[in-house]
Amino acid sequence: MPGTGTNQGGAKVQPEHMKLYYGRLFPHQTMYKWLAYGNDYARSKHPKADRSFFSRREFCFTLDGDIFVRYQSFKDAEEMEAAIKQKCPAKIDIGPVYNVDPRKRAAYSGGSGGDLSGAGGLRAFQPVERELVFDIDMDDYDDFLNYTHKDHGWEKCWALMAVAIRVLDRGLREDFGFEHIFFVFSGRRGIHCWVCDKRARMMTDEQRAAVANYFSLCRGREGGKAKVMLTSPRHPSVQRAAEILEPIFVDEMLPAQGLLDTSESWEKILEYIPDGDVCDKLRERWQNGRRSSTSAVEDVNKSRWLELCKEVDRCVGRTKDPMKRRQLAKCKDEIVFAYTYPKLDIEVSKKRNHLLKAPFCVHPKTGRVCVPIDPERAEDFDPDRDAPTIFQLLEELDSGAERTSMSENVELFEDLFLKGLSRSTQEELAAKTREAVGMAVDF
C-alpha cells in the first residue's frame, strides 16, 4: 500500500492504525499547550494573550501516498484535534509562526515573502517566529564506523546520540543561556532538539546560522579525513566538549566499533597524525600484534589508543618546529572530535521556515513514536526499548490497560519541559501587563 511503512518486525503502519492512535493516544492538548506559548485566550482570558498566535502556525500533513499538504493552520486546540483525527496524517511536521494565518497567504504578495508590495499594499507573507531546532542523523556518522546503525542497530551506536545530547544541552544552556530545551528520538535514525525560549524563537535566520556554526566543529572531509575546526589552546566550549567526548570515545566507541582492530580501520585514524615516523612505529607494532608492556588495558583498541597517545606526546616533546608541534598537540583531539562530536544538519537550524517532524508522531517506516529523551539520562535511553511502536501501544489498548507506554512519555515531556515553559510564558504575559499599565500611568 502506498504511503505505509514497515517496522522492524515487518508489520505495516496502516491508516486504521493511525486512526486509533490519533483518536486515543496522541496528546493533542499537550501539543497545543506547548505551541500556544500561553496565548490560549479562550482558556486563560489573559488580556495580553495574542488571540491570533496559534492560528498563524504552519502545520504540514503527509497523507497516505506521500501527499504533502503544507500551510495547514488551526484557530485552537479543538480545530487542530478534529483535523488530525479526520485526515489521519502519516506524519505531522511543524513549521514557523507567520505574520498572518498561512491559509490566507494568497492575499499577500508572492505568497512566500519579499518586499512590501502587491495588491492593496499588503505585507509579504513571511515567518516571524520559530523554535531554534537541530537535527542529528546517524547516517552522517557512517564513514567513521565499522558497525553502522543501518546494518547493526543501535547497540553499538547509541552512545554517539547520547553524547550529542549532552554536548548540545550543556552548550545551549551554559554558552547561550537557554532554558527551555527538549530532545526527541526521531523514530528511526537520530534525534531532534527544540529550543523554545522566547529569545530563541525570535532569532533571525542570520542569528540561527551563527548558533548552528558555533556547534559545527566538523565540516566535511579533506585529504581523506574529517575537517575539524579546533584551535590551540582549546576554547572553553571545546574543553567542555572534550571532557564529555573523550571518555565515550575511549571506553565505549573504540571497543564497540573496533576502531583499532584492523589495518583498514586504524589507517583511517593514523591519517590524523602529522608525523610519518610515529605512524610507521605504531603501524609496525600493531601489524605484529605487539602491545605496550606497561598497558594494563585488556581491550586491544583501548591499549592501542594509549600507545598512540604516548607516541604522539613523545613526538611533541622532541619537535622543535612550532607549527608542527601545534598540529601534533591537537591531533588526538581531532581524532576524538571527528569520531564523536555531534554532526549537525545545519541547514535545518539556519532557516525559520524549515519544517521538522512533530514530537509524538509515528515514524511511517519503523512504526516507532518520536518520544522525548531526558538529557540527564540520555545514555540510558534505548530506542528499541523506550520508543514504543504503534503496534505495541495498540496491543496495550486491546489488553485493557489503563495506562500505556505512551503515558510515561507524555508525562516526561510535561514534567521536564512543559511545566517550566508554562511558568515562563505566564511571566512574560504578566510583564507585558505591567508594562502596559506603566505606559498608561506615564501617559
Give catalytic residues, as residue numbers. Answer: 58, 135, 137
CA 67 – CA 82 distance, rounded (Å) = 19
Q: Which cell numbers in the block locate residue 368? A: 516507532
Q: Which cell numbers in the block locate residue 303? A: 591499549
CA 192 – CA 387 distance, rounded (Å) = 14
For β-strands 181-185 and 218-222, DSSP reports them as: unpaired
CA 217 – CA 201 distance, rounded (Å) = 24
Place of cell 504575559: 429
CA 347 – CA 354 distance, rounded (Å) = 8
Contact 352, 358 (CB under 8 A): no
The 10 Å CB-count burial string (b at 16+, else e) for 347-361 is ebbbebebbbbbbbb
CA 358 – CA 374 distance, rounded (Å) = 17
User: 95: phi > 0 → left, psi -120 to 50 → alpha, else beta; which?
Assistant: beta
The 10 Å CB-count burial string (b at 16+, else e) for 252-286 is bbbbbbbbbbeeebbebbbbbbbbeebbeebeeeb
With CA atoms as reference, report the closest residue to 332 among 268, 272, 292, 257: 272
Q: Torsion angle of alpha carbons 159, 162, 163, 168, nearest 10°?
A: 160
The residues with which 67 forms a beta bridge, in sequence order, are: 63
The residues with which 228 forms a beta bridge, in sequence order, are: 218
Q: Is 439 exposed, middle or buried (0-12, 13-18, 19+ CB in 10 A)?
A: exposed
